[in-house]
Structure 1
Amino acid sequence: MPHSFRTTSAIDEANAEAPTTRGVHLGAAAAPTPDSRASLNELHAAARDCRGEVESILGLARELGGRLPLPQQGRTFELWESLATLGAADLTAARIIEPHLDAVAILNQAGQAGLQAADSTWGVFAAQGPGQQLLATQAGSGWRLDGDKPWCSLAGDLSNALVTARTDLGMRLFAVDLRSPGISISQRPWTALGLPSVPSQGLSLVNVPAVPVGGPDWYVQRPGFSWGGIGVAAIWHGAATAVARRLYDHCRLRKPDQIALWHLGCADQALWAGRCAFQAAAVVAERGRGTSDDDGPQPAIVAGRVRATVVAAAEKVLSVAAHGMGPEPLAFEPEHVQRVADLELYLRQDHGERSLSSHGAAILAAATGPGAGAAPW
C-alpha cells in the first residue's frame, strides 16, 4: 500500500531532538511550518515500514518520485532534508530510493521526463571498471549499446536505468529498458555485511536499444550532477545522525563521565558542520550561481566541500560512538550493528583522499583560493 505524507523544509535550532523525533532537520533560514516535524516523521515511518523489503521500497520510490521536489526548483533544501530522513530511517531504503529520484531529476533536466512511465523504477549506472567499456553506436535513427557495465545495483529488480557509455564524441548518457533482449546480469557473491539487500551486479549488453539523454559529456557537466552528489551526502548525514542519537541515548540513560561528554560534544560538532554545509549549498543551488568568484563558487566546488565535510563528520560520529559506547551495542543491537555496517560501506562511494585531491585541483583551476565564496548569504 502506498504511503502518503507531507513534505516541507524546517528549522530545528532551538531545542535538542525529542526522543519521538525521527525526521532529520538540517536547519533553514525560513520559519518552520507547524507540521514540518510531523512531515519528516511520516517519511521516516514510511521507510521503516518497508522493513528492508526491496519490492516495498521500490513502491515507495515510485511514490516519492512524484512527490519530492526536484533540485534547483526552489525546494532543494527540502529534498536534502527528505533524503537525510531516509538515511536515518533505513540505509537500504535510502540506497534504493536515491538513484530513482536522481534519475527522475536527470530526465527532467534533460527535458525528457516523458521517458519515465508511472510504474517504472530506475537506477543510474555511471561507474567505470578497469578494462570494462560500454560502447554506444548509432544504428539508423537510433542507438545501440554493446559491452559490460559494472556496479549496477539491483539491475535485476529495476525496470529501467540511465547508463553512461562511450561514443566517438565522448561519454554520453542513455536510457535503457532493463528487460530488453540482449541484457544479461552477472553477480559476484556479495560478501559485505553492509547493504546486504542491495548487491552490486554486472551487466553485459549486446545490441541493446537505447535512447540518448543529453549530449556528449552533458551528464557530468550539468549543475544537477553536483546537486545530486550532495543528495547522496544528505543520506550519509542522516545515517550519522541516527548513530549520534544512539550515543545521545547512551549518555542520557546513565550518568556520563567527562570522556562520554567529550564524545557527545564531538558528534554534535561534526553534525553541525554538515548542517551548515547543506545550508550554504542550498543557497548556491537555488540562486543558480555561475562560475566566477563574483557570482559564487562553481557547483562542483560546492559539492566537493559538502561531501568532504559530511564524510569527515560521519566518520567522526562512527568513531566516537564506538569509543563512547564500547562493544555492547555492536554485540547485541541488530539495528545499530546493521546501520554501522551499511554506513561504513555506503561512505566508500566517496573516494577519500582521491576525492579531496580532485577537489584541490578544481580549487586551483578556479583560481579563487581556498574557501572563496563559502558564505553565499
Structure 2
Amino acid sequence: MTAGLVEHWLESGRLELPLPASGRTAERWQRLARLAEDNIVAARIAESHVDAVAILHELGGKPPDPGQLWGVWAAEAPDTALTATDADGAFTLNGTKVWCAGAGFCTHALVTARLEDGTQGLFAVTVTDPAVKALPSTWWNAGMAGSDTRPVQFTNAQAVAVGDPGAYLNRPGFWHGAIGVAACWLGGARRVADPLYRCAASRSADAYSLAHLGAVDAALAASDAMLAEAAAQVDADPFDRSGTAQLLARRVRTVVEHAVDEAITRTGRALGPGPLCQDGRHAQRVADLSIYIRQSHAERDLAELGQLAGRQAMRAP
C-alpha cells in the first residue's frame, strides 16, 4: 500500500513542493503535514524524496528524472560501515547501510559513505543496480512496518559524488530538512488526535476529556505557530548568515515532539482502549507515529538545544 500511494502522489504532482528557503517554505511544510494526515508511513517516504530533491538542488546534483523515487540513507551505526573508493572520479561503494527506508521500492537514493581519508561524502546511487541489495527485514514492530526499512548491502556499486566531502551536513539545508520531518510529525499528531476532537464535540464529553483536548489543542497550535515563524526566518535568512539554523530546527522539533506526545498520550487517556482496539486505522496511526517520532533523540536533542540556547543567550546584548 505504501509504495502504491507514494507512486500515486509522485505521478499526480503532490510531491512537487517549493524548495526550502525559496520564499514558500511555509507552503512546503504545510503540504508535508497534509501528506502525513493522509498517511504517516507514505509521508515519511515522500518527505525523504522531496528532501533528496532539495539536497540535489543545493549541492549541484542532477535533478531526479520523472517517475524516480529517491530516498536519503544517511544513518550510521558503529557496527556497520559503508566506504567509498575513488578511482579517478569514479566512485564505488562497499559495505552495509542501515535504516534504509523504502529499500524495496525506491529507485534511487542519496547515501553517506566514508572516503579513504575518513571524511564523509554523499553519493547518488541507483537502487535497482544488482550491486545494491536490500537485505532481509529485521523489523518486528507494526509501527512504520510499511516503510520497508531494511539494511542495504553495496558490493562495488557505482556511485556519483554529490557536493564536496562534508557538504551534506555543513549546509543550512540540513536543518531546513530537519524541520520538514517535524512537519510530518505534526500532520500525524493531528490525525491521532481526531477521535479526541470528535469526542469533545459530542454530548457525552466530560470535563476530563475536554481538559485533555485543551492540552492537545494548545500543543498543536503552538507547533503550527512555531512552524510558521520558522518558515519566515528560513526565507528571510536562506544561507543562515545569522548562524541560527540549527537552534531554530531543534526548537521546532522539540515543540512538535511535545505535541506528538500529548496527542498520543492524552487521546489514549481520555478515550481508553476503545479506539486503539476497535479502530484499525487509528491504532495503526498511533503505532506509526510512535515509531516515527523516535527519529528524535529525546534528551540528547534537548541537551544540544540547551547548549545552543545558552550560547545564544551569551551573545545577546
TM-score by length of 1: 0.79
Could you tell me whether the CA contact under 8 Å between 1:274 and 1:310 is conserved in 2? yes
1:130 aligns with 2:78: yes
Amino acid at match of 1:327: P
| Aligned-partner SS, 1:151 | strand
Match of residue 156 from structure 1: 104
1:277 aligns with 2:212: no
Distance 1:66 1:88 in 2: 15
Match of residue 307 from structure 1: 253
TM-superposition CA deviations, 1:64-120 (whole Å, max 9, x none): 476321111111100100011111111122112111111111111112234x22121
Match of residue 321 from structure 1: 267
Distance 1:321 1:64 in 2: 34
Trace 1:334-349 onto structure 2 (pairs within 5 A): 334-349=280-295
TM-superposition CA deviations, 1:288-346 (whole Å, max 9, x none): 26667xx4x61111000000110011101111111111111111111111111111011
Distance 1:123 1:100 in 2: 5
| Aligned-partner SS, 2:300 | helix
Runs of 4+ in 1 over 4 A off after TM superposition: 289-292, 370-373
Could you tell me whether the CA contact under 8 Å between 1:308 and 1:356 is conserved in 2? yes
Match of residue 139 from structure 2: 190
Listed as ranges, the gaps of 5+ residues in structure 1 are 1-51
Could you tell me whether the CA contact under 8 Å between 1:136 and 1:166 is conserved in 2? yes
Could you tell me whether the CA contact under 8 Å between 1:58 and 1:96 is conserved in 2? no
Amino acid at match of 1:138: D
Could you tell me whether the CA contact under 8 Å between 2:73 and 2:100 is conserved in 1? yes
| Aligned-partner SS, 1:210 | strand
Distance 1:363 1:161 in 2: 34
Change (3 A) 1:321 1:344: same
Q: How far apart are residue 355 of structure 1 and its match?
A: 1.4
Indicate the RMSD between aligned Cα atoms, in angstroms. 2.0
**Count of matched residue pairs:** 316
Trace 1:1-377 onto structure 2 (pairs within 5 A): 52-61=1-10, 63-64=12-13, 67-114=16-63, 116-167=64-115, 168=117, 170-288=119-237, 295=242, 298-364=244-310, 367-369=311-313
**Greater Cα offset, 206-215 or 61-70:** 61-70
Change (3 A) 1:171 1:156: same
Q: How far apart are residue 62 of structure 1 and its match?
A: 5.1
Distance 1:221 1:133 in 2: 21
| Aligned-partner SS, 2:99 | coil
Could you tell me whether the CA contact under 8 Å between 1:142 and 1:209 is conserved in 2? yes
Amino acid at match of 2:153: S
Change (3 A) 1:64 1:328: same
Could you tell me whether the CA contact under 8 Å between 1:183 and 1:205 is conserved in 2? yes
Could you tell me whether the CA contact under 8 Å between 1:62 and 1:121 is conserved in 2? no
| Aligned-partner SS, 2:84 | strand
TM-score by length of 2: 0.94
Could you tell me whether the CA contact under 8 Å between 1:57 and 1:96 is conserved in 2? yes
Could you tell me whether the CA contact under 8 Å between 1:123 and 1:161 is conserved in 2? yes
Q: How far apart are residue 263 of structure 1 and its match?
A: 0.7
Listed as ranges, the gaps of 5+ residues in structure 2 are none
**Greater Cα offset, 238-247 or 100-109:** 238-247
| Aligned-partner SS, 1:145 | strand
Distance 2:12 2:315 in 1: 39
Taking CA–CA contacts closer than 8 Å with sequence separation of 6 or more, which of the two structures ends up with the larger relative contact order? 2
Could you tell me whether the CA contact under 8 Å between 2:138 and 2:150 is conserved in 1? no
Distance 1:265 1:286 in 2: 32
Amino acid at match of 1:157: F
Distance 1:273 1:339 in 2: 22
Match of residue 7 from structure 1: none
Change (3 A) 1:232 1:211: same
Could you tell me whether the CA contact under 8 Å between 1:62 and 1:120 is conserved in 2? no
Change (3 A) 1:205 1:243: same
Identity within the alignment, %: 37
Amino acid at match of 2:166: D
Q: How far apart are residue 156 of structure 1 and its match?
A: 2.0
Distance 1:73 1:291 in 2: 13
Q: How far apart are residue 152 of structure 1 and its match?
A: 0.7
Amino acid at match of 2:10: A
Could you tell me whether the CA contact under 8 Å between 2:107 and 2:128 is conserved in 1? yes
Q: How far apart are residue 249 of structure 1 and its match?
A: 0.3
Distance 1:290 1:363 in 2: 20
Q: How far apart are residue 372 of structure 1 and its match?
A: 7.0
Q: How far apart are residue 187 of structure 1 and its match?
A: 2.2
Amino acid at match of 1:123: G
TM-superposition CA deviations, 1:342-375 (whole Å, max 9, x none): 11011011111111122223334xx2229979xx
